[in-house]
Each structure stands twice: as C-alpha cells, then as structure tokens.
C-alpha cells in the first residue's frame, strides 16, 4: 500500500546573513546549502513512488516557490512531469531520472533569479518566515485536496525549515497563528537551525511534534538532513533521533520584554505585565482594584453622668 | 434552494453553485471593535428526558447530541484555552452535575462518552438545572463571563418554584443563558434568553444543530457590567528530566492524587512558581496556592479573537484582471470568484480564503509586509 507523503522545504535565503557569511569564510555558501537541499529533495522522492515535494525560498522581500513554480502550472504540476517537461529542460546529462533533473534545474533557475534580480526595498533585514510558512500551508492544502480523488490514502505532510538568520520577534503573533493552524491540520514542523538557536522554532517543533536540531558543523549539513529529517513520521518512532530540547514557555512581559514566571494578565486584551498597574497600557482599561472592606468607625456611646 | 435547469437541460451549474455557496456559508461576520469575554465559565445543560429517545436525529437525539457535544468541547478548548466547562444533565424532574467546572477536556469527553448509555426518563426541570448552575457560577470572579447553554428537547418543564423569579436572579448575577431547542419554540425559553441576553434557536436538522453549537465556541461580546481586572497568573517551566540526571527526583502530580486513579511517579512536569506543586498538563489552577498556571501559547491562541481578519472582497473571475494564480497556494484559479484582500490586494482562491478565515486568521499576503514595531 502506497502512503502519500508530502515534504515542503522552506529555506531561509536572507541575503544579508548569507552575504556576511560569504565575506567571512567561503566554506559554506548558499549554493552548497541549496545543493544539500536538492539531494534531500531527490532522496525524498526516491523513498516512495508517490511522494511529493515542494520547495519555498524565504527572502526578506517575498516568499518564492522554487518548485513547483509558475511555469509548471500549465502542465500537471504534481503528476509525473513527463512529456511536457522534456520540452522545457535540456534532458538529463548523467542518466539521472528526468523528473529529478527537471526539479534541480528549476530550483537552480529560480534561486538565481531570486537572489540576483530582487530589488532590495526599504530597510528590512529580517526573513519573512511566517509568510513562507503560511504559503506552505496553503500549498499543502491544495495538494491534499487535489490528490484526494486519486487515492484513498491520507496524505501525511511535513514542513522542514532551514533557518539561517536570527528570529524576528515582530512576527511573533503571525508565526503563532501559523503554527496553531499547522497543529490543527496535523502537519509536523521540523527545524534545522544553522547558526543561532531560535526560540520561535523550538516552540513550533514542540507544539506540532516535529524535531528541532541545531547543526553543530555546517558543512556537514547534508548528513544531518538525511539522517534526521528524511524519515517520515512513522519511521521516526523506530529510530534514535536527537532528544527534544527544553523549551522556554515563559512569557515575556509587554513592558520590559523580560521573561517572567509570575505575571499579571489583563482580562480584556490578554497583555502580560510584570507589575501591577491601575491601567492597562495596551487597551487602556482601568482596572477594578479590590480593596479590603472599609470598617465603619464605631460610635462611642457617651456615658451620661 | 431551487434546482434549475439551464438551456441544455443540465443541472451541473446549479449544483456547483449550491456547493460553492455551502462552502462560503461557514464564514460569519465578526463583531468588530467590541470587547470580548475571553475567560469564560460555561455550563452545558443536557436534557435527559423521555423525548431524547426520539429518532428524528439519527440514531436518536441523545446519541447525536452527545457526539456533537464532544466535538464542541474540543473546539471550545481550542479557541478558548483559558476557559472552563461544566456539564449538567436533567431528567426525572431533577438535575445533577455530570462534571464540575474545569479546564481539562479529557474529563468532559470521557463523561460524555459514558453518558451514551444513560437512561432517558421523565421530564426535565429547567428551574433545577439553572439553579444548580447558578450556585457555582455566582461565585466566579467578576471579570470572567458566566454562561449557560441549554440543549432543550422537551416541550414541558417541571419546576418547583416560579421560574420567572429565577430569571430575575440570573439577570442580577449577570449570567447569560442561551438555549438550543430540538423540538419547537417554547415561550419560557424565549423569555429566558431575551432577559439574560442570550440567544434562542430551534434546530432544523443535524447540520444546523452543529452550526448553532459552533456559534457558541467564539467568545461572546462582554456585557458592559463585567469588570476588567488584572489577573495574577504563573508561567511554569516544563522540566524534562531523565534518570541519568543527578538531581532528578520522581514526584506525584497533584491532579492524579486528587483523582485517586493510580498515581504514578513521573520525572518531568510543570512546577508551580509559587508553591512548587507539580502538574502534568496546563492550563490548570494550582490546588495548593490557587495560582492559575498557563503557558504563553495558550494566551497566544486567543489573540486572533482580538485582531480578527476582515472578510476578503469577492470578485467574479471574468472581471479580475490580474494573473490567474492564487497567491497562497500557487494553484490556478478555477472557481467562479476570486477573493481579494483589501489591504494587500492579493488574490486568493476559494479554498485558501476558507482556510485563511477558519484556521489561519492572518492573510498570507499581509504578513509579507514588515510590521511596524509595537510602540510601548
């Protein structure tokens, strides 16, 4: 029985982070990262005839689908990609399966286009990760719906995020909305973090049941991808994988951004404060302060002489 | 809906239209800039009288109601993670509590599953069930919303005293009562809902029943008299200890000790920041020191009620001049309408539109705009 498994890879292509890396030591560059991702994608498609793949690049200006891109929409994008694709690509030069060559070429074309031709507008330095995850969820929904009439098997989907730059705390609310939506649809979110630990992705992996891994040695990225992130949900229970990380679920107070263990929550807007204050700074509600009951002064009875 | 044939005698266009409208019906308008009651204490009163054995809902009214209530409880805790539910059943002119008010969904679902074998007999008593609920709800703190939802199937009620006096008491204690009728409209329910500020609907069929129940999942607008206060809450850390740690000490969870159900020693858990009592799951109210324990994602789950997403603008496909690709899923637009977000002007297909409004609560186009930092 063939099980349908869909893997969506979201790659962080923050040009500022990758640019800084290229200036430093050129051992691990974006092209090496994309090579590793291509091998992972090909391996996933090899695991089972019916597996499906999608790759999204997360940039500071936009999120772009590297595969399947718009040029695939004219043909059946999630089918075998047979005859109509051969007219687009030059054919496999090393005897590789046609579909994989086509996919690798499409990814390479799109990423070159994205990195060279995108205009950098404004002052944004942060990756639009929440937006890419939202588009990934919509894409998973589309593929799940379109494959429902073809087979009775349930489609199991997961998203792998390869994160390079730091977290963007401004996207917290959108990110949490996306993660709760993924949890509701039973979609796993795995995270492979290249540089600095990401609290948001740790929470995401904990909530959805995925694996979080901070890569100790970046040039060996492919080994980690194939070892940890290639097996699907059912196979994971039979393997020894990195243990769950300790997730810090403490809330940050709205006034100082400190992590607190005990705080005060406004009942109207649910903002969290570390100290009691009579007015909520977010929604400007005046709070009712319960005072101890006022004792009436007892009237002293005057003794009449 | 009327089925009409087109010129060639085919019904396909009308059927497509009906299916399309059915998909869209699920979106309802949100209230706008209205204060919501986010922390809710809700009692669900289930009618257990003789009329529940009626087979107009398959297989009978009781089984159908209990199954829909299981789904309701799950959705309720999904949308309102810091709220509580209690269950009451009324039959043979009495009312008894199936479960106490609590935030633990498993307890309620177990009780609902067990109640399928319940024997339906006698007449319900609206007075007794409302009184029983009121005894607990009137002690709840003022900033929470106190609600009762009655699933009423009988056409009669047997009350020991004047129910209109009880309605006045409910109004005084600010409890909002809503009724879902399974048979026909009953005048006393109409008065009850109107006086206390709730809603009263009578179902047409099972899918309408589900729809009416789902209306009660979203937080209701808060009444003007509800107090706003600053609630003290704890955010415990989750400790995952393993046997190889030197300091790991196995301990009992407070909830298991209370339930008398084979308490087991576990190594990890959530420790209350005030009194260090251990709990296995959140959210929970600490039994030792009374502090409400939640985790930050629980509060984050409710944020989308405070910042609701506006409905997208519906434009017929022929009039839309942009590219025929949905900006969300990158699929081709095949439906009769496209949906355009008024803020970012991106176009989405009907599936993405439903998904965005039901589950995602944020527009995939808008979150690509970099948000301005929140000014403190």
**CATH code of residue B355:** 3.30.40.10
Nearest CA distance, A301 vs chain B (angstrom): 38
Q: Is the pLDDT of residue B363 over 50?
A: yes
Q: Is residue B302, in this structure, part of any structural domain at all?
A: no
Judge whether B26 lies within some domain: no
Q: How far is A147 from chain B (nearest CA, A)?
A: 13
C-alpha separations of A278 from A288, B47, B96, B222, B274 in Å: 8, 44, 41, 20, 23
- Residue B324 pLDDT: 79
Yes or no, beta carbons of A178 and B362 under 8 Å apart? yes
pLDDT category, B161, cuts 50, 70, 90?
very high
Cross-chain CB nearest to A276 (options B228, B230, B351): B230
Taking CA–CA distances from A145, the nearest residue in chain B reads B351
Least Cα separation, residue A124 to chain B (angstroms): 7
Q: Do A181 and B376 touch (CB under 8 A)?
A: no
pLDDT score of A81 more than 50: no
Q: Say yes or no: B109 and B45 in one domain.
A: yes
Examine the predicted complex and report whether its ipTM is higher than 0.85.
no
Residues B92 and B213 grouped into a single domain: yes
* Gap between the Cα atoms of B367 and B358, Å rounded: 17
CB A86 within 8 A of CB A98: yes
pLDDT of residue B376: 34
Q: Dihedral through CA B321, CA B323, CA B329, CA B331, nearest 10? A: 110
pTM assigned to the model: 0.81
**pLDDT tier at B96 (50, 70, 90 boundaries)?**
very high
Q: Which of B209-218, B266-275, B299-308 has the highest mean pLDDT?
A: B209-218
Q: How many CB pairs under 8 A join A and B?
A: 182
Q: What is the pLDDT of residue A234?
A: 84
B186 and B100 part of one domain: yes
pLDDT at A298: 61
The two three-digit tokens of residue A141, written as one number: 């929904």
Residue A68 has what pLDDT?
A: 81
Q: How confident is the model at residue A74 (pLDDT cuts 50, 70, 90)?
A: very low
Domain count, chain B: 3
Q: Which of A269-278, B15-24, B194-203 has the lowest mean pLDDT?
A: B15-24
pLDDT digits (tens, 9 = 90+) for A231-261: 888 888 888 888 887 887 777 887 887 888 8
pLDDT value for A248:
79
Domain boundary at B217, B245, B264, which? B217
Per-residue pLDDT at B374 exceeds 60: no
The answer as to whether B58 is a domain residue is yes
CA gap B120, A199 in Å, rounded: 52
B31 pLDDT more than 60:
no
Indicate if B149 and B179 belong to the same structural domain: yes
Has residue B246 been placed in a domain? Answer: yes
Confidence of residue A67 (pLDDT cuts 50, 70, 90): confident
User: Over 70: is that where the pLDDT of B24 sits?
Assistant: no
Lowest-pLDDT choice from A221-230, B41-50, B61-70, B335-344: B335-344
DSSP B251: B
Whether B40 and B68 map to the same domain: the answer is yes
pLDDT-derived band at B149 (thresholds 50, 70, 90) equals very high
pLDDT in tens, A168-220: 777 888 888 899 999 988 999 999 999 888 888 998 998 898 999 999 888 89
- Distant-in-sequence, close-in-space partners of B103: CB < 8 Å, separation ≥ 6: B77, B81, B82, B83, B84, B85, B283, B284, B285
Residue A280 predicted with pLDDT over 60: yes
Query: Which residue does chain A place closest to B236, by CA atoms?
Result: A261
Looking at the fold, whether B134 and B276 belong to one and the same domain comes out as no
Apex B266 CA angle, B260 and B270, nearest 5:
95
Same domain, B206 and B130: yes
The predicted pLDDT at position A179 comes to 92
Please indicate if any CB of chain A lies within 8 Å of the CB of B299: yes
CA A182 to chain centre: 10
What is the pLDDT, as a whole number, of residue B177?
Answer: 93
pLDDT band at B35 (very low <50, low <70, confident <90, very high): confident
pLDDT classification of A78: cutoffs 50, 70, 90: very low
* Mean of per-residue pLDDT scores for chain B: 82
pLDDT bucket at B45, cuts 50 / 70 / 90: very high
Q: What is the pLDDT of residue A80?
A: 44
User: Residue B173: inside a domain, yes or no?
Assistant: yes
Structurally, at CATH architecture level, domain A4-71+96-237 sits in 3-Layer(aba) Sandwich (3.40)
Residue A1: pLDDT over 60: no
**pLDDT band at B18; cut points 50, 70, 90:** low
B167: which 2 tokens?
């309605």
Dihedral sign of CA atoms A57, A63, A66, A67 in order: positive
Q: Give me B51's structure tokens.
A: 């009329």
Give chain A positions within 8 Å (CB) of B71: none
Contacts of A31-36 spanning 24+ positions with Cβ under 8 A: A32/A219, A32/A221, A33/A162, A33/A164, A33/A194, A33/A221, A34/A107, A34/A108, A34/A111, A35/A222, A36/A221, A36/A222, A36/A225
Spatial separation of the C-alpha atoms in residues B318 and B315, rounded to whole Å: 8
Torsion sign over Cα A268, B73, A244, A234: negative
Under an 8 A CB cutoff, do B303 and A288 touch?
no
Please name the residue of chain A whose CA is at the shortest distance from the CA of residue B239. Answer: A246
Mean predicted lDDT score pLDDT of chain A:
81
- In this prediction, what percent of chain B has a pLDDT beyond 90? 27
Are residues B180 and B200 both part of a single domain? Answer: yes
| Residue in this structure with the two tokens 């690049």, named with its chain if needed | A57
Distance spanning both ends of chain A, measured CA to CA: 107
Residue ranges making up the domain that contains B249:
233-297
Does one domain contain both B244 and B208? no
B91/B178 same-domain check:
yes
Interface of B with A in 227-286 (CB under 8 A): 227-240, 273-274
What is the structure's pLDDT at B103? Answer: 83
pLDDT tops 90 at residue B274: no
The mean pLDDT value for B80-92 works out to: 90
Q: What is the pLDDT of residue A145?
A: 84
**Better-scored residue on pLDDT, B31 or A25:** A25
Contact B235 A250 (CB under 8 A): yes
Q: Are residues B319 and B289 part of one domain?
A: no
Distance of residue B300 Cα from the nearest chain A Cα, in angstroms: 7
Query: Where does CATH 3.40.50.410 sit in chain A?
Result: 4-71+96-237
Q: Tell me, what DSSP letter sits at residue B76? A: H
Percentage of the residues of chain A whose pLDDT score is greater than 90: 22
Percent of chain A surpassing pLDDT 70:
86
Tell whether B79 is within 8 A of chain A (Cβ): no
Say if residue B50's pLDDT is above 70.
yes
The Cα–Cα gap between B116 and A250 comes to 40
Q: What pLDDT does A39 receive? A: 93
Q: Do B367 and A130 touch (CB under 8 A)?
A: yes
Is A66 a residue whose pLDDT tops 90? Answer: no
């Amino acid at each position: 029985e063939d099980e349908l498994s869909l893997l969506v890879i979201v790659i962080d292509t923050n040009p500022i982070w990758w640019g800084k890396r290229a200036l430093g030591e050129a051992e691990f560059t974006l092209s090496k990262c994309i090579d590793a991702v291509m091998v992972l994608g090909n391996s996933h498609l090899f695991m089972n005839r019916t597996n499906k793949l999608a790759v999204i690049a997360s940039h500071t200006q936009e999120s772009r689908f590297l595969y399947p891109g718009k040029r695939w929409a004219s043909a059946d994008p999630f089918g075998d990609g047979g005859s109509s694709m051969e007219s687009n690509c030059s054919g496999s030069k090393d005897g590789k399966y046609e579909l994989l060559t086509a996919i690798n070429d499409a990814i390479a074309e799109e990423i070159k286009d994205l990195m060279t031709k995108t205009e950098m507008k404004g002052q944004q330095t942060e990756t639009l990760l929440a937006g890419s995850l939202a588009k990934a969820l919509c894409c998973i929904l589309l593929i799940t719906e379109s494959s429902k009439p073809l087979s009775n098997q349930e489609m199991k989907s997961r998203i792998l995020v390869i994160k390079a730059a730091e977290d963007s705390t401004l996207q917290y609310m959108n990110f949490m909305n996306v993660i709760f939506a993924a949890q509701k649809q039973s979609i796993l979110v795995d995270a492979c973090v290249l540089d600095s630990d990401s609290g948001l992705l740790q929470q995401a992996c904990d909530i959805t049941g995925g694996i979080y891994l901070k890569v100790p040695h970046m040039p060996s990225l492919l080994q980690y991808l194939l070892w940890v992130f290639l097996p699907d949900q059912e196979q994971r229970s039979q393997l020894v994988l990195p243990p769950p990380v300790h997730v810090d679920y403490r809330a940050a107070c709205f006034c100082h951004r400190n992590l607190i263990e005990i705080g005060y929550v406004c009942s109207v807007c649910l903002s969290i404060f570390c100290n009691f204050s009579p007015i909520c700074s977010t929604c400007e509600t005046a709070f009712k302060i319960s005072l101890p009951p006022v004792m009436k002064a007892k009237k002293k009875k005057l003794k009449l002489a | 809906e009327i089925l009409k044939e087109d010129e060639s005698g085919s019904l396909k266009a009308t059927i497509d239209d009906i299916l399309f409208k059915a998909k869209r019906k699920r979106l309802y308008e949100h209230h706008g800039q209205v204060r919501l009651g986010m922390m809710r204490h809700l009692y669900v009163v289930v009618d257990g009288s003789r009329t529940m054995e009626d087979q107009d809902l398959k297989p009978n009214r009781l089984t159908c109601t209990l199954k829909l209530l299981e789904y309701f409880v799950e959705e309720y805790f999904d949308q309102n993670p810091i709220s509580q539910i209690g269950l009451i059943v009324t039959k043979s002119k009495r009312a008894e509590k199936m479960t106490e008010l609590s935030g633990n969904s498993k307890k309620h679902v177990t009780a609902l599953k067990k109640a399928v074998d319940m024997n339906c007999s006698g007449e319900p008593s609206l007075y007794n069930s409302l009184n029983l609920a009121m005894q607990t709800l009137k002690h709840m703190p003022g900033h929470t919303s106190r609600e009762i939802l009655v699933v009423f199937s009988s056409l009669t009620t047997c009350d020991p005293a004047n129910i209109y006096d009880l309605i006045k008491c409910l109004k005084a204690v600010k409890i909002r009562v809503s009724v879902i009728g399974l048979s026909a409209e009953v005048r006393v329910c109409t008065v009850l809902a109107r006086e206390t500020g709730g809603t009263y609907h009578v179902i047409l069929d099972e899918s309408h029943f589900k729809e009416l129940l789902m209306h009660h999942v979203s937080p209701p607008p808060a009444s003007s008299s509800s107090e706003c206060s600053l609630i003290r809450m704890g955010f415990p850390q989750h400790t995952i200890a393993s046997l190889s740690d030197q300091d790991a000490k196995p301990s009992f969870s407070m909830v298991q000790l209370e339930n008398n159900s084979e308490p087991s020693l576990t190594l990890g858990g959530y420790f209350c920041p005030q009194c260090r009592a251990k709990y296995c799951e959140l959210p929970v109210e600490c039994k030792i020191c009374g502090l409400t324990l939640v985790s930050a994602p629980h509060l984050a789950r409710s944020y989308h009620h405070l910042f609701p997403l506006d409905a997208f603008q519906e434009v017929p496909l022929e009039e839309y001049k942009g590219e025929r690709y949905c900006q969300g899923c990158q699929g081709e637009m095949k439906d009769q309408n496209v949906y355009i977000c008024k803020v970012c002007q991106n176009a989405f297909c009907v599936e993405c539109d439903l998904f965005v409004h039901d589950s995602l609560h944020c527009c995939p186009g808008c979150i690509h705009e970099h948000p301005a930092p929140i000014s403190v």
